[in-house]
Structure 1
Amino acid sequence: MQTRLNIIISSGLLMTLLRPCGASRSCPSGCSCNVNHTDCSDLNQLASLDSILDQLPFDTSYLNLSNNNSTTVEPGSFSNFSGLLHLDLSRNLLSSINSGCFSNLSRLLHLDLSRNLLSSVFASSFSHLNNLEVLDLSENLLVRLPVNLFSDLGSLTELALRDNKLKELNPDQFKGLTELRRLDLSLNSLSSVPTHLLDGLQNLVWLSLMGNRLRTLQQTSLEPATALRHLLLEGNPWNCNCNVIPLKHWLEWIIYTGGSVDSANCSFPANLHGKDLRIIPMEMFRHCYPLYLESRSPTAAEGHQVPVGSAGDCMPQRYRSVSVRRATATVVVAGVVCGVVCVMMVVTATYGCIYAILMAHGQQQLTEGNSQQQQLLMVAKEPEQDEKEDLMPTIGKGAQATDCVGWIAFPPEVCV
């Protein structure tokens, strides 16, 4: 019993001796430390990031280094903080993020790099952040992003690239982000959205394209995001010509299925300036229908191409849209109803004609029957008169009665 107690005491003493010396470090001057949370924001001095990190406990899980005027992050700066879950580097003066800056931060879940002066980011900057869920790069000076910048961030659920200077995005920019749910691309200089940009983002629920330079947006660019329910499009110079019809139908479908779309006000043409694309009636695009028919004419089928950007270029997709008003089921039901109504009208007209013929025939028979009955009555009255004449000679007595038999049929003077 005494031997076992000695072993336990020795083990506890050994753990105390082997505890990392960094864990016993005091809180850096000007910082606020609470258990594993360390807040070193707003130090109001041109502080060296390394000088702050050298004084931090190694078991820190939450670290706020925002608003410190830090200009650089050296590779391996956070290599000793393997338990870090949340890192805030926003509102500094960082101009670039080098590869290896966040090496060994395999447990990091939230990284905030917003409101800096970042103009470039290396492709391998986030290569070791396998468990990162939230990445905020908003309010920087980013013009272009490496194609493979987010390729290792398979656990990312939220990505903010708001308020940068992005002019274009590669179609494979977000490839592999299968868990992404929120994507903020607002307040940039994007003039187009690549067709396959959202391929593989089947869990994307929220997308913001506000405040860019988008004049049009292809329906095929949005269709891969099957779970999308919230779309922000305000603040773009939308050109509401015939090319925007498929997008209008897709927006109507999102709203019909319970999603939300903010206002998309048209800048062109002049007659639709300031109008919300969502509520413009389809009658305003009636002029597009003849152009659609022309695009499907035999001349076009023989190889004559319709000019790119013309109204005919968008109209071949007119009837492959998901508009409820043009749905196949709706057309079939409407055709069946119209057919039933037409059949009922024909049956009603036929019944009316037959009824009129029968009524006329019956009236004719009734008329003929009345005429025959009158003739029979007239014929029946003549024998009655003859019978009366035969009975008249029996009236009177003796020869006087016999002599006056003809008085009834002849004048009195003859009878005398």
Structure 2
Amino acid sequence: MRSRMNIIISSGLLMTLLGSCGTSTSCPSGCSCNVNHTDCSDLNQLASLDSILDQLPFDASYLNLSNNNFTTVEPGSFSNFSDLLHLDLSRNLLSVVFPSSFSHLNKLQVLDLSENLLVRLPINLFSGLNSLTELVLRDNRLKELNPDQFKGLTELRRLDLSFNSLCSVPTHLLDGLQNLVWLSLMGNKLKTLQRTSLEPATALQQLLLDGNPWNCNCNLIPLKHWLEWIAYTGGSIDSANCSFPANLHGKDLRSIPMEMFRHCYPLYLETRNPSAAEGHQIPAGSAGDCMRQRYRPVSVRRATATVVVAGVVCGVVCVMMVVTATYGCIYAMLMAHEQQQLIEGNSQRQQPLMVAKEPEQDEKEDLMPTIGKGATECVAWMAFPPEVCV
């Protein structure tokens, strides 16, 4: 009997201790609690977020609070849910969140804030979420983001910023997100995008840019080169269809030939002044702003190395032509000289034969009188008897 009383007292003390630690094992009305999976979506009641959280089990790892009428997240609302891995607050009426709204969620991996009324986000809203791998901010009213908005999210792999009202992407927004492989910027109001804003995401494999009013002028040349490089290295990009100018309306930025941007290069050359060479920034909106980038755009026909190589090749060809012509002239002169010597040698070898024959000719001339004399005598034989001719 005494042992049974001890067990009852021990159980009561244990429940008291658990209650003092803030542990809850109940499941609110309208929610579904299954092991560590808690679903409180579509409650259709006007209860506040905190009143619902007070009734939830604190050991939940998956918490779905979507499609309710929550308008704000108070500081420290989830401080008791340290084991939470997945938090879904989508399809609510959230317009106000505080820097410490998600404090103590060190293990959180997925945070879904899509389809709310968020216009601005506190700079330190996501600080401390070191394990976060996916952040969904789709379909809100975000107009701008702070460059340090996602600072510290080193494990982030997927970032959804689609269907907001973003007009620009800060240059250092993605700094430190070396594990980011998926990024969506579709459905915003982006007219231009700096290549340097995307380059920190070195692991990026899929980029969504459709649904923005892209102004395909000189400003987008660096982005065009970067998109072509990502596609060349095996990345996936949906499309960046131009809205301006009129002659490029509806065309994908990547498919536009560089000849359409040839007017940009004189402007780029004008900006290469001493101040720019020293690293001074060129004012935005100037002619040089259209070609500002971290790396020079690649153009085979205008590359300095190509010009140098072409000059060297042309020089070598010219030298070879001169050498060939010189060799031909020298060879012709040598052949002519050798032919002349050959002719002169033949003449010298034939000259003694002619001299040797001259005496014979003289002998013939010396014999001519004798022959003539005999002929006279023979003519006289015609009139005298044979004896006289003998």
SS of 2:50's partner is coil
Which of the residues 406, 410, 413 maps onto 2:369?
406
Equivalence for 2:329: 356
Contact 1:174 1:198 in 2 (8 A): yes
Q: State the alpha-carbon separation in 2 of the partners of residues 195 and 377 from structure 1.
A: 98
Equivalence for 2:254: 278
Q: Alpha carbons of 1:146 and 1:316: their partners in 2 closer, same or farther (altered >3 Å)?
A: closer
How far has the Cα of 1:386 moved from its partner?
Answer: 2.2
Q: Alpha carbons of 1:383 and 1:338: their partners in 2 closer, same or farther (altered >3 Å)?
A: same
Question: Which sections of structure 1, spanning at least 5 residues, go unmatched?
Answer: 1-6, 24-35, 39-48, 394-402
Question: Which sections of structure 2, spanning at least 5 residues, go unmatched?
Answer: 19-24, 380-390
Q: Map of 1:161-240 to 2, 5 A cutoff?
A: 161-240=137-216
Which of the residues 228, 245, 248 maps onto 2:221?
245
Q: Alpha carbons of 1:321 and 1:413: their partners in 2 closer, same or farther (altered >3 Å)?
A: farther
Equivalence for 1:61: 36
Q: Map of 1:247-396 to 2, 5 A cutoff?
A: 247-297=223-273, 308-317=284-293, 320-321=294-295, 323-325=297-299, 331-332=304-305, 335-336=308-309, 338-340=311-313, 342-374=315-347, 376-387=349-360, 390=363
Q: State the alpha-carbon separation in 2 of the partners of residues 361 and 106 from structure 1.
A: 99
Q: State the alpha-carbon separation in 1 of the partners of residues 193 and 334 from structure 2.
A: 71
Contact 1:189 1:213 in 2 (8 A): yes
Contact 2:89 2:114 in 1 (8 A): yes
Q: State the alpha-carbon separation in 2 of the partners of residues 327 and 154 from structure 1.
A: 47
Cα-to-partner distance string for 1:331-382 (whole Å, 9 max, x where unaligned): 5477346524532441243133222322233124303422452464255234
Q: Alpha carbons of 1:80 and 1:380: their partners in 2 closer, same or farther (altered >3 Å)?
A: same
SS of 2:183's partner is strand
Equivalence for 1:139: 115
Q: State the alpha-carbon separation in 2 of the partners of residues 281 and 109 from structure 1.
A: 47
Structure 1 vs Structure 2: percent identity of aligned residues? 56
Q: Alpha carbons of 1:80 and 1:410: their partners in 2 closer, same or farther (altered >3 Å)?
A: farther
Q: Alpha carbons of 1:143 and 1:127: their partners in 2 closer, same or farther (altered >3 Å)?
A: same
Equivalence for 2:88: 112
Q: Match for 1:217: what amino acid? A: L
Q: Map of 1:74-113 to 2, 5 A cutoff?
A: 74=50, 77-78=53-54, 81-113=57-89
Q: Match for 1:347: what amino acid? A: M
Q: Match for 2:142: what amino acid? A: L
Q: Alpha carbons of 1:114 and 1:300: their partners in 2 closer, same or farther (altered >3 Å)?
A: closer
SS of 1:93's partner is coil
TM-score, structure 2 as length reference: 0.80
How far has the Cα of 1:240 moved from its partner?
Answer: 1.1
TM-score, structure 1 as length reference: 0.76
Contact 1:178 1:200 in 2 (8 A): yes
SS of 1:183's partner is strand
Cα-to-partner distance string for 1:163-218 (whole Å, 9 max, x where unaligned): 11111111111111111010000000000111111111111111110000001111
SS of 1:283's partner is helix
Q: Match for 1:343: what amino acid? A: V
RMSD between superposed Cα atoms in Å: 3.9
Q: State the alpha-carbon separation in 1 of the partners of residues 355 and 72 from structure 2.
A: 134
Equivalence for 2:128: 152
Q: Alpha carbons of 1:409 and 1:361: their partners in 2 closer, same or farther (altered >3 Å)?
A: farther
SS of 1:74's partner is helix
SS of 2:154's partner is coil
Q: Alpha carbons of 1:387 and 1:217: their partners in 2 closer, same or farther (altered >3 Å)?
A: same
Q: Alpha carbons of 1:413 and 1:282: their partners in 2 closer, same or farther (altered >3 Å)?
A: farther
Q: State the alpha-carbon separation in 1 of the partners of residues 310 and 292 from structure 2.
A: 28
Q: Alpha carbons of 1:226 and 1:78: their partners in 2 closer, same or farther (altered >3 Å)?
A: farther
Contact 2:217 2:290 in 1 (8 A): no
